[in-house]
Amino acid sequence: MEQLLQHLVNGLVLGGTYALLGIGLTLIFGLMSVVNFAHGEFYTLGAYAAFAALALAGLPFFAALLAAIAAGALLGALCERTLLRPLRGHSIDTIMLVMIGVWIAMQNAELLAWGGVARSIPHPFPTAPLTLGPLNIAPLRLFVVLTAAALIGLAWLLIQKTRLGTAMRATFQDRDTAALMGVPIGKIHTVTFAFGSALAAAAGALLGPVFLAYPSMGDLASLKAFSVVILGGLGNLAGATLGGLLLGVAEELGAGYVSSGYRDAVGFVAIILVLLFRPAGLFARAERIG
Amino acid sequence: MCKRLISTALVGLVALALLPAGGGAQSSAPIKIGVIEPLSGPVAASGNYVRMGAEIARDWVNARGGVNGRKIELQIEDNKSDPKEAASAAEKLIVRDKVPAIMGAWGSSMTLAAMPKLEEYGVPMVVETSSAASVTKRGNPWVFRISPPSEMEALGLEQYVDKLGVKKVDFLAVNTDWGRGSIQAFGDMLRRKGVQVGAAEFMEQSATDMNAQLTKIKQTGGDTLFLTTAVEQITLVLKQGQEQRLARKIVTTGGSSSPTQLIKQAGAAAEGSYHIVFFMPWFPEAMPDGRLAKAFVDEWTKRGNPFEGLTEGFRGHDGIATIVEAVKLAGRDEPKAIQEALWKVSITGVNGPIKFEKDGPAGKESGQSKPSIFIVQVRDGKVALPDFLKK
Amino acid sequence: MIARAAVALGAVAAVAAPLWVANPYHLHVLIMAGIFTILALSLNLLLGYTGQLSLGHAAFFGIGAYTSALLALRLSWSFWLALPAAALASGLAGWAIGRLALKLRGAYFVLVTISFAGVISLVSINWMDLTNGPLGLPGVPPPTLGPWTLRTKTAYWYLVLAGAALSYLVCHRLVTSRIGRALVALRDNEPLAESVGIDGTRYLVLAAVISAAMAGVAGSLYAHYTRFVSPEVFLFSYTVTMVIMVIAGGQGTLAGPVVGALLFTALPEALREAVAWQWQMLAYGVVLVLFVFFLPRGLVPALAAWRRR
């Protein structure tokens, strides 16, 4: 029983971070229809930005988090302006191919800049775990989960309650009408991509200290993010959040009770089963955007 | 206009690749030695450390006047952690660059993929890291390995098992040929010594969360955990083990644990852990050739290479040193002559004596050296000889 | 006219390759390009003609490679039996995907293909008794034809060339047949096609089976050439490479995948030549971005448009 509880707790912590990755991508993939294979690279960027801020510049932890978010937003905006905007109107596969190129370029640029050695990102939390009965949880992980939840909440607020959010939703629901209503379509696209990338960078800055920062850390992150987005329904923030949590828990339970070697397989099989019975994702009945 | 320019450039790039290779060798031209390592991809750090060690060997040899009056040059190829690329790299080195000998290719599956090319063209390769038993058992007479297979490593630890006080053991290894081979070899050895074997768990090479496996291991009631994986995952396992209050003796195998890096990144979680290594850069004087080892450490540090890379970098040095000695004995840089000369090599590298014995099916034996194996411990945040060895 | 001449020239060059190619290494690159041509053609069937993206295509490649290798190693089957068996095994997997994903389109189909490939990859790593796991299967025998062993590159080149030509023919026949037209109709407007009685799912499954079987053939050819099969054949990077070849070459055309395969097999090798190892992969990424930027519809359609001007 204790083992089960510990697995559940681990799964929720992991899932929280999957959720954060997922909501960034659900905006980019779900709303903008960009198959962003480079999403994981913004995650990596966030981790390295945090490393640079903490280990090299000696900034406090929150400042490092902000630095990572800023880096993600800036590079995301740049990407959108220089690569995606000129290619808008081309097929989804063409855009996917460009993002594959960006993925390869970014990862190898990071390898060149930082070397292949994994970097440990220092953090201000004590390493001794908090013990609640039979459960152990590290303070850092608890912080990560809480911050992720806060960021998800902020994202939801932005999308649902602000004018910018309304403009975003309008643009992706019906572009021409939105344009007629005076919404600056180009700017909205840039902001959306930047926002999604910033969220990925935030996830990287949060998870970097938990694990390690190394150039290929984004590959698995991209894959998990896509799974979460599709499970939860494209463009569905709540769906991505729940989907992320569920994936995390499923993986932990699978690794704990089935086999550690087949850990990722559990996630995959779960996805296949879900899509077999609910072809439009877990939360198909929920509103398409937000 | 722009489109034509780019298209032309692309065509030009392809044409460049199809150009015939450069001119023939002259007697004073440098001797080229091929090096195949993973320089990009998930294990890029290790591949680069080996490359750095090889470069030190090259510079030392050239400073002493080279071999047979000629300088040596390293032709370095990236196998991108992919067996298909390792085979392509070997082909290119042999056919285009006409190297008479190669060192590589780090991972066992990359080495195995390149081996058929060695036989096809008759070029010897010195294997510096791979640990799978099959590398020297496939009946490929062009393979010479200076790194220990897992069985040899396990034998090296056998004498310390009682002193370590191991009664019941669990295994946690990376899900590759190396991790699996290690569990097999150490499991057999420990069972022979009467030790009970509990759980054997695996983790994917790219996995970062091992909590599930650790939770399972906690339940077995064992007293020791044998860990076989790269230093990044060891760091994560130690940290997560600490988070779960897994109070166990830890022994890492495979020689890639880089205890210095562990101390830096895992901190207190690494305290007390034991590590099987093949080079002890913290006390180089204790190595079989203390002066060479110390000189290597000094040169490495002088070049600004990270200290934690030494536990792998020495392999690059020893591999090149072995090839250079064979070229010297052969008197010429011709592949068949070098292969024959490799059997006569008897030098002392940074790790220790290098001398090849026959291994594998009769008539087509590969060469296997018997490298030295050491065990160290992390105590008080520093690397030291294990407590049971101190007199 | 020019196109026909170019094709004829290309065919002659291909058949005479061992004569004019500078050295065995280049022949090696050509052989790999040939194998990837078959893979690109197979992926193009799904992506270009049904509009469904399969990002698990490496799974069919890998299943073919393992099937062929295991049959040859464990049961001593001849290559000429192992190859069709590999195609059959992959085709079956393609059928399974087709049936599984029958209600799914677009992103959902993609995800199922990725998940399927992920599961197969993990099985190959963990099912030690069958596949020998990460240790791989070394020593896969080369094909024999009567008294001769097709071990030399020249012999293997003709084998691969025959395979590629056959694949191209199959694709050509398929695409120009009624089935092909149905597939295109489904790709362009599925509800409309269904309204005239075209069963979307049946045709999708058919395309998936043929596509997968073809990839299986490529896998078998790969296994008997490199003579070493390990779980790395399921690497996502192989799928990504195939996708690049199809899209950059020109999806929905027949020449596109061929050109794409040649170009993107030669490119990494050219970079190995032209650029120091530290910059190779970065250069590859940059070249790819530039390529897509200036030739967004792919090389073959761009050439066709350029000629028409």
pLDDT at B5: 57
For C64-86, what is the HEC assignment?
A: HHHHHHHHHHHCCCCHHHHHHHH
Neighbours of B37 (CB within 10 A): 31
Give domain status of residue A247, yes or no: yes
**pLDDT greater than 60 at residue B83:** yes
**Complete domains list, chain B, with CATH:** 28-148+292-368 (3.40.50.2300), 152-277 (3.40.50.2300)
Over residues B359-371, the mean pLDDT reads 91
Q: Measured between beta carbons, which residues in chain B are less than 8 angstroms from residue A3?
A: 215-216, 219
Give domain status of residue A195, yes or no: yes
- Tell me: the pLDDT tens digits for C126-159? 888 888 888 889 889 888 887 778 778 888 999 9
Give percent of chain B above pLDDT 90: 59
Give A286's pLDDT tier (boundaries 50, 70, 90): very low
**Residue A282 contacts residue A232 (beta carbons within 8 Å):** yes
- Tell me: the pLDDT tens digits for A246-268? 888 888 888 777 777 677 777 78
| Residue among B208, B219, B232 minimizing CB distance to A3 | B219
pLDDT at B12: 57
**pLDDT greater than 50 at residue B301:** yes
* Mean of the per-residue pLDDT values of chain C: 87
Task: Tally C-beta pairs within 8 A across A and C.
Answer: 121
- Tell me: the pLDDT tens digits for B317-330? 999 999 999 999 99
Over residues C62-86, the mean pLDDT reads 93
Over residues B197-225, the mean pLDDT reads 87
pTM for this predicted structure: 0.85
* CB within 8 Å of C276: residues ≥ 6 apart: none
pLDDT at C33: 93
Give domain status of residue A130, yes or no: no
pLDDT at B13: 58
- Residue A254: give the domain boundaries: 2-123+140-277
Give percent of chain B above pLDDT 70: 93
C-alpha separations of B164 from B158, B172, B223, B268, B375 in Å? 10, 18, 11, 21, 11
pLDDT at C102: 65
Give domain status of residue A288, yes or no: no
pLDDT at C20: 82
**pLDDT greater than 70 at residue B371:** yes
Q: Which of A212, A201, A210, A194 is nearest to A151 (CA)?
A: A201
- Tell me: the pLDDT tens digits for A36-55? 999 999 999 999 999 999 88
pLDDT at A170: 84
**pLDDT greater than 70 at residue B388:** yes
pLDDT at B21: 44
**Residue A247 contacts residue A223 (beta carbons within 8 Å):** no
Tell me whether residues A211 and B48 touch, CB distance under 8 A: no
Give domain status of residue A185, yes or no: yes
Q: How many domains does chain A have?
A: 1
Higher pLDDT, A286 or A66: A66
**Residue A187 contacts residue A50 (beta carbons within 8 Å):** no
Give domain status of residue A282, yes or no: no
Residue type for position A172: F
> Do strands A135-137 and A130-132 pair parallel, antiparallel, or not at all (unpaired)?
antiparallel
Residue from B18, B43, B174 to probe the interface with C (highest C Cβ count within 10 Å): B18
Please give the Cα distance from B71 to B77 (Å, whole number): 20
Residue A169 is part of a domain; what is its CATH number?
A: 1.10.3470
Give B7's pLDDT tier (boundaries 50, 70, 90): low
In total, chain B counts a number of residues equal to 391
- Tell me: the pLDDT tens digits for C178-205? 888 888 887 888 788 888 877 777 888 8
pLDDT at B10: 58
**pLDDT greater than 50 at residue A116:** yes
C-alpha separations of C29 from B72, B109, C37, C70, C182 in Å? 28, 21, 12, 26, 36
pLDDT at A141: 83
For B359, phi then psi, to 5°, come to -145, 130
Please give the Cα distance from B112 to B132 (Å, whole number): 9
* Mean of the per-residue pLDDT values of chain B: 88
| C1/chain A closest Cα distance in angstroms | 29
**pLDDT greater than 50 at residue B391:** no
**Residue B10 contacts residue C303 (beta carbons within 8 Å):** no
| Contact status of B242 with chain A (Cβ, < 8 Å) | yes
Over residues A233-238, the mean pLDDT reads 82
Over residues B196-225, the mean pLDDT reads 87
**pLDDT greater than 50 at residue B20:** no
Of A13-17, B61-65, B307-311, C106-110, the one with minimum mean pLDDT is C106-110
Give B312's pLDDT tier (boundaries 50, 70, 90): very high
Of A226-230, B153-157, B285-289, B378-382, the one with minimum mean pLDDT is A226-230
Of A157-171, B270-284, C215-229, the one with minimum mean pLDDT is A157-171
Secondary-structure breakdown of chain B: helix, strand, coil percentages, each rounded to the nearest 5: 45, 20, 35
Over residues B214-239, the mean pLDDT reads 90
**pLDDT greater than 80 at residue A57:** yes
Residue in this structure with the two tokens 């290494």, named with its chain if needed: C25
**pLDDT greater than 70 at residue B27:** no
**pLDDT greater than 90 at residue B353:** yes
- Tell me: the pLDDT tens digits for B110-127? 999 999 999 989 999 999
> Do strands B125-127 and B72-78 pair parallel, antiparallel, or not at all (unpaired)?
unpaired
pLDDT at A288: 41
Tell me whether residues A86 and C293 touch, CB distance under 8 A: yes
**Residue B143 contacts residue B189 (beta carbons within 8 Å):** no
| C296/chain B closest Cα distance in angstroms | 11
Tell me whether residues A90 and C297 touch, CB distance under 8 A: yes
Alpha helices in chain A (DSSP H): 2-25, 39-51, 61-79, 85-87, 92-114, 139-161, 163-173, 175-180, 185-210, 217-232, 237-253, 263-277
**pLDDT greater than 50 at residue B23:** no
- Tell me: the pLDDT tens digits for C269-306? 888 878 887 888 899 999 999 988 888 888 888 888 87
| Contact status of A139 with chain B (Cβ, < 8 Å) | no
Bridge partners of A131?
Answer: A136
- Tell me: the pLDDT tens digits for A133-146? 777 788 888 888 88
pLDDT at B357: 93
- Tell me: the pLDDT tens digits for C83-134? 999 999 999 999 988 887 767 777 778 888 888 888 898 888 888 888 888 8
pLDDT at C224: 93
pLDDT at B297: 95
Over residues A204-210, the mean pLDDT reads 87
Over residues C244-265, the mean pLDDT reads 90
- Using CA coordinates, name the residue in chain A closest to C54: A93
Give domain status of residue A283, yes or no: no
- The chain C residues in contact with chain B (CB within 8 A) are 22-26, 28-29, 32, 125-126, 128, 133-136, 138-139, 226-228, 230, 232, 235, 237, 263, 266-267, 269-274, 277-278, 280-281, 287, 290-291, 294-295, 299, 302
ipTM of the complex: 0.81
Give domain status of residue A285, yes or no: no
**pLDDT greater than 60 at residue B25:** no
**pLDDT greater than 80 at residue A3:** no
